[in-house]
Amino acid sequence: MQTGSNSGSSPRATDAQVRIPQLDGLRGIAIGMILIWHFFLVPIVIAPRTFLAYVMIPTRLAWTGVDLFFVLSGFLIGGILLDAREASNYFSVFYTRRFFRIVPVYFLCFGGVFVLSMLLGSLPVRKFDWVFADHLPWLSFPFFFQNFWMAARNTLGSYGLGATWSLTVEEQFYLTLPLLAKNLNRRRFTFVVVTGIVLAPAFRLLFYALWPTHSLSWFVIMPCRADALLLGVLASIAVRNLAWKNWLVAKRRLFHLLAPILLAVLAFLSVKGASFYTFPMLSFGMTSVAISFAALLLYAVLFPESLVGRILCLGWLRWLGAIAYGTYLFHEFIYGAVYWAFFGRQPRVGSLPEFLVALLGLALSLVLCRLLWLKFEKPLISIGHRRQYSLESTAPLLQEAAARP
């Protein structure tokens, strides 16, 4: 999380950052789940009611790694906004930093696909039709509203670009959250956050009732997915309210009692409703998954000395977490290119050679995205963080005795 101020208006202003290593580990778990899903679960060929089909049941929720990303994002960004709400340059610094963190890498991805589509589209052969099947209007991508087209057409669009739906959800969410954090006192802001968490499954049920044949509508539209983001924001509020934080620390056993209940719910969803379009998942499942991730996040932050906290500090998990954003955007393209080079078609895992090619694609994705992080993402983030918040007081809100009335 981040607190800080700018030396422009106050002689005491600084830009202090407190990095929680456990969050890097959680980010590593999130991208790891997505990689497993796209490399080995989506393309795998398994006959139903076979031994392998039953073995794969525990992996059916790997796609919810994106929900862990949402919870993490809500926690981090919500904390930044709460800590900087008194800054005179609150909006300009926030959106400048978000721009350098998100937009250049996103446009590198989208722009590369656009240029590639123009080049391949001019070829007389039709070997690459699978890459651009069901493509969405290109103009929707620069403005981050392709998720509406996805919902209307009930398709994620071109190969690889489907993952960008989550970016649209986050960017649309961050058009409103800074305004609320800035203009509402802590109690009202908390009320709005809790209300949004409750309303998200209601929105999903409404879409299900009005548009049952468009299952992507309740998966990719922002209000329907706001519960995960807002649960992260609620967690950031909790650790900044000393009374709430002390209560949670004193009630450590509550986490231990809650864990088997949440695990039982996740097990039920894995067996009965793992896909996002099932009624158990859209009604209570997505919120239950997000609550599980928020509880894990809080436990890791509040009890860093615990076994969970120590596991999340493992070097390889944090290494993976550092390259999560670029990996999320580019891994499918790298996998598709590697697979096509060997087999000349869309990825599918049904044999040992195909499995080995999937491993090769995974390894190459990690190497290339590490280079992307070092040479492109990280320098851009540094540029964004040259802008610092201007605060009269530099005391972080984490140290407040209680929330504002």
pLDDT of residue 10: 34
pLDDT of residue 4: 35
pLDDT of residue 50: 84
pLDDT of residue 90: 96
Q: Decide if 394 contacts 16 (C-beta within 8 A).
A: yes
pLDDT of residue 149: 95
Q: What is the pLDDT along the chain (405 residues), one digit of tens a residue?
A: 333 333 333 333 334 346 799 999 999 999 999 999 999 998 887 877 888 888 888 899 999 999 999 999 999 999 999 999 999 999 999 999 999 999 999 999 989 888 888 777 666 666 677 777 778 999 999 999 999 999 999 999 988 899 999 999 999 999 999 999 999 999 999 999 999 999 999 999 999 999 999 999 999 999 999 999 999 999 999 999 999 999 999 999 999 999 999 999 999 999 988 898 999 999 999 999 999 999 999 999 999 999 999 999 999 999 999 999 999 999 999 999 999 999 988 899 989 999 999 999 999 999 999 999 999 999 999 999 999 999 765 444 443 333 333
pLDDT of residue 392: 65
pLDDT of residue 124: 64
Which residues fall within 8 angstroms of residue 296, CB to CB, at 6 or more apart? Answer: 26, 308
- Torsion region of 19: left, alpha or beta (phi above 0 gives left; psi -120 to 50 gives alpha): beta
Query: pTM, whole model, 2 decimals?
Result: 0.90
* Residue ranges covered by each domain of the chain: 21-399
pLDDT of residue 148: 96
